[in-house]
Homo-oligomer: A and B are copies of this chain.
Amino acid sequence: MKLLTDKIIKEGRIIGDHILKVDHFLNHQLDVPLLNAIGKAFKEIFQNESITKILTAEVSGIAIAAITAQYFDVPVVFAKKTESLNLDKETYEGNVYSYTRQRQYKFRVSKHYLPASDRVLIIDDFLAKGEAIRGLCEIVESAGATLVGAGVVIEKHFQGGGDKLRAQGLNIQALASIASMKEGTITFLH
């Protein structure tokens, strides 16, 4: 998606060989017309899949999922990371290891919002080692719902998570896929 790769080149900041900061448009400040283009692109890819629900994770998946859901005309559910006093007691859980924070944590979704009849599209901002997406898959599986696929905005392909999940049969579509970020230069697969 040229609009996105141009934006990454122009406004992304590379730190070391692994970290890509996209605070300027995706993770802290939100470029809303870009999010609309992202939503339309996901719709084009998954339009024949009869999606009934979009599942994402707090925090940085939420805006992307909400804007994207407009094109599918379905509700969004976002998995909660933080313990919340107000969250229902009956939840589906996904276990996720955060390499950045070096600790295990849980994604939780109330059982009310993920019936087995749902056809679920997972949406997230980044795919690196694949832990977050895997945790969301775990939730869909526990719910007995149908997992249609996952749409991610940026895949850091060189970190291997995407291909590991594809090998397990998950249809993952990344709008921008990064082959490497060596020495401050970013190379895209697409």
Are A77's CB and B36's CB within 8 A?
no
Are A76's CB and B32's CB within 8 A?
yes
Q: Interface-forming stretch among A65-73, A129-137, A157-165, A168-176?
A: A65-73
Within the assembled complex, what's the spacing in Å between the Cα atoms of A109 and B23? 11
Within the assembled complex, what's the spacing in Å between the Cα atoms of A46 and B61? 27
A119 within 8 A of partner (CB): no
Instruction: Kindly identify which residue among B19, B35, B87 contacts A66, using a CB–CB cutoff of 8 Å.
Output: B35
**How many A residues touch B, CB cutoff 8 Å?**
41
Q: Interface-forming stretch among A78-86, A142-150, A178-186?
A: A78-86
Are B75's CB and A29's CB within 8 A?
yes
Which of chain B's residues have a CB closer than 8 A to the CB of A88?
A: 23
Majority DSSP secondary structure for residues of A touching B = mixed
The winner among A78, A82, A88 for most chain B CB atoms within 10 A is A78
The winner among A63, A74, A85 for most chain B CB atoms within 10 A is A63
Are B31's CB and A75's CB within 8 A?
yes
Instruction: Kindly identify which residue among B63, B70, B78 contacts A76, using a CB–CB cutoff of 8 Å.
Output: B63
A127 within 8 A of partner (CB): no
A29-B76, A58-B59, A78-B28 given; A23·B70 CB < 8 A? no
Can you give 30 A-B contacts (C-beta < 8 A)? Answer: A21-B86, A23-B86, A23-B87, A23-B110, A23-B113, A24-B112, A27-B86, A28-B77, A28-B87, A28-B113, A30-B69, A30-B75, A30-B77, A31-B75, A32-B70, A32-B73, A32-B76, A35-B66, A58-B58, A59-B62, A59-B82, A62-B62, A62-B63, A63-B63, A63-B65, A63-B66, A63-B76, A66-B66, A66-B67, A85-B101
Q: A28-B77, A63-B76 are in contact. List 14 more A-B contacts (CB 8 A).
A: A23-B87, A29-B77, A30-B75, A30-B76, A32-B69, A32-B74, A32-B76, A35-B66, A58-B58, A59-B59, A59-B78, A62-B63, A63-B66, A85-B101
